[in-house]
Amino acid sequence: MIKVTLRDTVKEFNDGINAFEVAKSFGGGFYKNVCAARINGVNGDLRTVLKDGDTLELLTFEDEYGRWTFRHTASHIMAQAVKRLYPNAKLAIGPAVDDGFYYDFDIDEKFTPDDLKKIEDEMKKIVKEDIELTRFALPKAEAVAKFEAENEPYKVELAEGIADGEEISFYAQGDFTDLCAGAHLMSTGAVKAFKLTSATGAYWRGDSSKKMLCRVYGTAFPKASELEAHLTMLEEAKKRDHNKLGRELEIFTTVDCIGQGLPIMLPKGTKILQILQRFVEDEEERRGWLRTKTPLMAKSDLYKISGHWDHYLDGMFVLGDPNDESKECFALRPMTCPFQYQAYLNRARSYRDLPLRYGETSTLFRNEESGEMHGLIRVRQFTISEGHLICTPEQLEDEFRGSLELAIFMLKTLGLYEDVSYRFSQWDPNDKDKYIGTPEQWEEAQDMMGKILDHLEIPYKVGVGEAAFYGPKLDIQIKNVYGKEDTLITIQIDQMLAEKFGMEYVDRDGQKKNPYIIHRTSIGCYERTLALLIEKYAGAFPMWLAPTQVKILPIADRHFDYAYDIKKQLEAKGMRVEVDDRNEKIGYKIREARLQKVPYMLVVGDSEVENGAVAVRQRGENGDLGAMPLAQFIDLAVNEIETKVIK
């Protein structure tokens, strides 16, 4: 017999029992809801045989890893259906993702909507067959030979990439077998509700020099009602998708001959970014940040000092041959930190100079893979509210708190605060080559940051392997309308680069010491923030951010003079105003202004001219506020702008 701890209770079971059999031992139908296991704190498969002293958690679809396992099995069901219908299709990879799953196939022609329907129908048959999934392993050589015999070149490449001497894990379900680390459900019958949502192109391994494959996306749930609710959410998300709405509202566009990830900001989008940038810079200066302006590129020498040349070269745009030491080689900057350090190094520093807070509105360049880019969320050229704070160890916690308070102030002002979560991004001690510094330095920095976060009562999750190569960080995470999570704002602690750059200060004891550096953004990448604001407000920005705040709609030509007089008065108060003087009916003008998401429409006709008034309409349903004196509207509008109210 073995003893296993479940929910703080120790239970005895027969030797050789696995996690799924434990679930069945509870009786009733509970085991049908179990998707995966967590054994001694490590996520794993229900087939795992338990040992004496193990601690077991049984995970359902409500748990993140249980959900991942459920959808991972759905991806295998889809792959089996594709192989049944299209035997010549070559299999690549098929993971679960945040809100579903996908599988990449090498096929002659991209799947059409009709093809997806056929695949769904075949998947239903596989689910009805309730096929058991079994796990087995093969030595590397046998695994490679198996895939070569099956003419599966992508699986051959994956198997060959696994270290020699390691066994390779497989999962089989009836006539289908796939290389896979797991975990998986016990059988196909548990996947009751699913939908294939799209088919698109994706380069093998995200490399544009490799073949374009067909990626089929889908999602899956235990119940049909949950699937329907999710699909309804997706339809609403499509209406808010910044990639669609931002183009319809003429905020930005993209052009093939310029390139992917290089958006063109149209006048409306440029105005919003200008407003955001001025707001951020003014607020930073109020909090003691000093502005710098540094070059967009530098010689490789700078990046070699910082470590970016060794740890980030693939993500940089290099001008010249990085392997030719006889010629100067430049690179566009992927970050601002090594440039701003030169401002600190401009003269000798004392502890009396610290903290020093350098801020910059920085244009950066990162060589993102084509498959990673999406609208304004992830681009190759972007602008960021970047800053580097140099301080003594004693100042570190207060300055970190100040950086976080600034970020929270920005989030609350923009209306995004309730949408974010926090991730404490740490190094991966099992992959030391990714980082600079010693394990002792990393443990010291992470321990210090953990204490600061705990003191500040920040509710964070830990992300192992998500740290920058030079230090741990607090990532403020946010999801787009489709549920995909990205980092919006980052605050990092760095105790290594100051030493590499020779940054010193003379302390009270007369000794030269290296300062700590806090890397931070206050609003993150402006383009990403704009994308999230478009989606948050469905293009109906708060008035202070709206590119056009007021649209004046004269009913007839004889009202034009009054309309333009109103425009002049509103502009004198700093408002952004347009007059629609087209020869159109007033109902048409109102509909057009509402479609453009303009916060206020002022209709002017004979009565308004006579009384010095305006007929005020807000965007949205039931927005008719009636007639009011112009002065009253001006007071209302100015207050809404100055208080940055969110309606």
| pLDDT confidence of residue 577 | 98
What CATH number is attached to the domain comprising 604?
A: 3.40.50.800
208, pLDDT greater than 80: no
Q: What residues does 477 pair with on adjacent strands?
A: 421, 487
List, for residues 321-368, the tens digit of each pLDDT value: 988 888 999 999 999 999 999 999 999 999 999 999 999 999 999 998
Look up the domain containing 104 and give its range: 65-225
Comparing CA positions, the residue from 571, 565, 574 lying closest to residue 614 is 565
The full 3-state SS of 269-327, as one line of letters, equals HHHHHHHHHHHHHHHHHHCCCEECCCCCEEEHHHHHHHCHHHHCHHHCCEECCCCCCCC
227 burial type by CB count under 10 A (0-12 exposed, 13-18 middle, 19+ buried): middle
Does 230 reside within a domain?
A: no
What distance in Å separates the CA atoms of residue 286 and residue 284, rounded to the nearest whole number? 5
| pLDDT confidence of residue 569 | 97
Does 530 reside within a domain?
A: yes
Shared domain check, 478 and 391? yes
Comparing CA positions, the residue from 33, 35, 30 lying closest to residue 45 is 35
What value does the mean pLDDT of the chain take?
93
What CATH number is attached to the domain comprising 24?
A: 3.10.20.30
Backbone torsion region of residue 28, taken as left when φ is above 0, otherwise alpha when ψ lies between -120 and 50, otherwise beta: left
Shared domain check, 328 and 298? yes
| pLDDT confidence of residue 19 | 92
CB 604 within 8 A of CB 554: yes
List, for residues 556-592, the tens digit of each pLDDT value: 999 999 999 999 999 999 999 999 999 999 999 999 9
Shared domain check, 69 and 53? no
Tokens of 224: 């049909």
Does 295 reside within a domain?
A: yes
CB 502 within 8 A of CB 447: no
- Mean pLDDT over 215-235 rounds to 94
| pLDDT confidence of residue 28 | 80
Residue type, 590: I
Cα radius of gyration (the chain)? 29
Shared domain check, 103 and 69? yes
Shared domain check, 272 and 151? no
- Which DSSP category does 351 fall into? G
Comparing CA positions, the residue from 432, 445, 436, 440 lying closest to residue 393 is 445
Does 250 reside within a domain?
A: no
Does 322 reside within a domain?
A: yes
Does 543 reside within a domain?
A: no
Domain boundary among the residues 225, 245, 279 is at 225
Q: At what angle do helices 140-149 and 153-160 cross, to 10 degrees?
A: 170
| pLDDT confidence of residue 647 | 83
Residue type, 390: I
Comparing CA positions, the residue from 169, 184, 172, 179 lying closest to residue 147 is 179
Tokens of 47: 């087939």
| pLDDT confidence of residue 434 | 84
In terms of pLDDT, which residue wins out, 30 or 506?
Answer: 506
**Percentages helix, strand, coil for the chain, rounded to the nearest 5?**
40, 30, 30
Does 144 reside within a domain?
A: yes
List, for residues 398-455, the tens digit of each pLDDT value: 999 999 999 999 999 999 999 999 999 998 988 888 888 888 888 888 998 899 889 8
Tokens of 482: 């489709």
Residue with tokens 């098929």: 94
Asked if residue 183 has a cis previous peptide bond (ω within 30° of 0), the answer is yes
Shared domain check, 80 and 51? no
Domain boundary among the residues 165, 197, 225 is at 225
Shared domain check, 620 and 574? yes
Q: At what angle do helices 64-85 and 113-129 cross, to 10 degrees?
A: 110
| pLDDT confidence of residue 136 | 94
Tokens of 381: 């050229």
What distance in Å separates the CA atoms of residue 416 and residue 486, rounded to the nearest whole number? 14
Shared domain check, 476 and 371? yes
List, for residues 610-639, the tens digit of each pLDDT value: 999 999 999 977 789 999 999 999 999 999
pLDDT classification of 182: cutoffs 50, 70, 90: confident
What distance in Å separates the CA atoms of residue 502 and residue 355, rounded to the nearest whole number? 17
What CATH number is attached to the domain comprising 187?
A: 3.30.980.10
Strand order in the sheet with 297-299: 297-299, 330-332, 318-319
CB 51 within 8 A of CB 75: no
What distance in Å separates the CA atoms of residue 305 and residue 499, rounded to the nearest whole number? 10
CB 102 within 8 A of CB 218: yes
Q: What residues does 362 pair with on adjacent strands?
A: 384
Does 635 reside within a domain?
A: yes
Cα dihedral: 567, 573, 577, 583 (round 10):
-10
With H, G, I as helix, E, B as strand and everything else as coil, classify residue 20: helix
Shared domain check, 93 and 14? no
Domain boundary among the residues 537, 566, 586 is at 537
What distance in Å separates the CA atoms of residue 623 and residue 633, rounded to the nearest whole number? 14
Query: H or E element: which one contains 389?
Result: strand 381-391
Shared domain check, 525 and 565? no
Measured from the Cβ of residue 566, the count of other Cβ atoms closer than 10 Å reads: 23
Asked if residue 542 has a cis previous peptide bond (ω within 30° of 0), the answer is no
pTM of the full structure: 0.81
List, for residues 63-121, the tens digit of each pLDDT value: 999 999 999 999 999 999 999 999 999 999 999 998 899 999 999 888 999 999 999 99
| pLDDT confidence of residue 113 | 93
What CATH number is attached to the domain comprising 279?
A: 3.30.930.10
Provide the CB-side half-sphere exposure for 412 (13 A, CA): 7
Strands 90-91 vs 100-106: parallel, antiparallel or unpaired = antiparallel
Q: How many helices (H) and strands (E) does the chain have?
A: 19, 33
| pLDDT confidence of residue 137 | 93
With H, G, I as helix, E, B as strand and everything else as coil, classify residue 182: coil
Listed in sequence order, the DSSP H helices in 329-438 are 337-344, 396-414
List, for residues 471-485, the tens digit of each pLDDT value: 899 999 998 888 888
Shared domain check, 485 and 403? yes
Q: What residues does 265 pair with on adjacent strands?
A: 252
Shared domain check, 417 and 378? yes
371, pLDDT greater than 80: no
For the chain, how many structural domains are there in total?
Answer: 4
The greatest distance separating any two alpha carbons of the chain, rounded to the nearest whole angstrom, comes to: 95
